[in-house]
Amino acid sequence: MDSFRRGPYTFDVIDRGPADGEAIVLLHGFPQDAQSFDGMLPALHAAGYRTLAPLQRGYSPGARPTERSAYKGGELADDIIALLDGAGLKSAHIVGHDWGGGVAWGLAYRRPERVRSLVSISTPHPQALVKAAPKGQIFRSWYMFAFQLPWAPEAFIGLGARRGELAKNLEKQGVPAEAAARYQERMLDPLTRRGSINWYRGLPLSLKEPVGRITVPTTYIWSNGDTFLGRAAAELTARYVSADYRFAEIDGGHFLPDDQPDLMAELVLERVRSAAPVRA
């Protein structure tokens, strides 16, 4: 499949690997895209897994609602349910990075019967993030408050993209030059900028629908060099998982699927192999 629908929206998706393999859904973050996992795919496919990487709400040209209420956590999770339904899958392994990790946590909480296992890269459990706010996380997350403003965030990101500064900053954080240039090119599009920033604007509404305890096998991967997400939230995450849980602390930065794809694939395979086989 190269797309799926939910209501009036059409989402692009990259569907690769053995068609009859167990499915791993890969959820990208900001300011990335579905190709951010490309470096992980050879190992996942060689191990016999099918991968589905959607271009998420706000990023897909056919799925760009403008109101912030359209970016609440429940809406984002339901997009992935629509992907599973469109692919004819009762359940799948879910892997998310950055904002994609937030969607993965929410999906595992709201619809655990559709999630065989969960891997969140960089992003801690949402309640751990809230609890860590007075422990220094609030200073790391200052930009989330700035992104609540109208128009200014889009203007700032657009200016950085036009000047080439966005790609340079991503490269400094370990993103390969080709990928950084692609992400920058996407952010030159005003509609993509608005859609991606709307994820932040929907956050206050998502906090009114808190994510609770996770009951599916879970791995959380955190880098001790992440400038956006600190140790306090990382260590608190274990409190919110009742199932088999692994916390993998590694050296590196925030953009791990781009920066360390081989290690990410290894950790994902370790988790998915520990779960019972998936049937379509």
Whole-number pLDDT of residue 89 = 97
- Domain membership of residue 198 (yes or no) is no
Specify the pTM. Answer: 0.97
Active site includes 254?
A: yes
Domain of residue 109, CATH code: 3.40.50.1820
Return d(Cα 237, Cα 213) in angstroms, integer: 10
The model's pLDDT over 226-243, given as tens digits with 9 standing for 90+, comes to 999 999 999 999 999 999
- Examine the pLDDT at 225 and tell me if it is beyond 50: yes
Q: What is the CA radius of gyration of the chain?
A: 17
279 vs 194, residue with greater confidence = 194
Return d(Cα 258, Cα 84) in angstroms, integer: 25
Q: What is the mean pLDDT of residues 180-188?
A: 97
CA atoms within 13 A on the CB side of 259: 19
Q: Which of 71, 200, 220, 240 is catalytic?
A: 200
Tokens of 219: 């791995």
Q: What percent of the chain has pLDDT over 90?
A: 98
Whole-number pLDDT of residue 277 = 64
- Domain membership of residue 152 (yes or no) is no
Whole-number pLDDT of residue 28 = 98
Residue type, 221: I
> Position of tokens 């209501």?
7
Residues facing 54 on adjacent strands: 13
The SS3 of residue 58 is coil
> Position of tokens 């200014």?
152
Mean pLDDT of the chain: 96
Helix-strand-coil percent breakdown of the chain, rounded to 5?
A: 50, 20, 35
- Domain membership of residue 32 (yes or no) is yes
- Domain membership of residue 220 (yes or no) is yes
Contact 121, 101 (CB under 8 A): yes
Residue type, 247: F
Closest alpha carbon to 59 in 125, 6, 9: 9
Active site includes 143?
A: no
Cis status, amide bond into 31, omega within 30 of 0: yes
Active site includes 38?
A: no
The model's pLDDT over 62-112, given as tens digits with 9 standing for 90+, comes to 999 999 999 999 999 999 999 999 999 999 999 999 999 999 999 999 999
CA atoms within 13 A on the CB side of 188: 12
The model's pLDDT over 6-56, given as tens digits with 9 standing for 90+, comes to 999 999 999 999 999 999 999 999 999 999 999 999 999 999 999 999 999
Q: Sheet with 92-97: list strands edge to edge.
A: 3-6, 9-16, 50-54, 23-27, 92-97, 115-121, 218-223, 245-250
Domain span at residue 242? 3-143+211-273
Q: What is the mean pLDDT of residues 123-138?
A: 96
Q: Which of 109, 254, 258, 259 is catalytic?
A: 254
- Examine the pLDDT at 279 and tell me if it is beyond 60: no
- Domain membership of residue 157 (yes or no) is no
- Domain membership of residue 45 (yes or no) is yes
Q: Structurally, how many domains does the chain consist of?
A: 1
Q: Which of 33, 98, 226, 258 is catalytic?
A: 98
Residue 8 DSSP one-character state: T
- Domain membership of residue 176 (yes or no) is no
What's the burial of 37, exposed, middle or buried (CB within 10 Å: 0-12/13-18/19+)?
Answer: buried
Contact 100, 130 (CB under 8 A): no
- Examine the pLDDT at 280 and tell me if it is beyond 50: no
Whole-number pLDDT of residue 275 = 84
- Domain membership of residue 158 (yes or no) is no
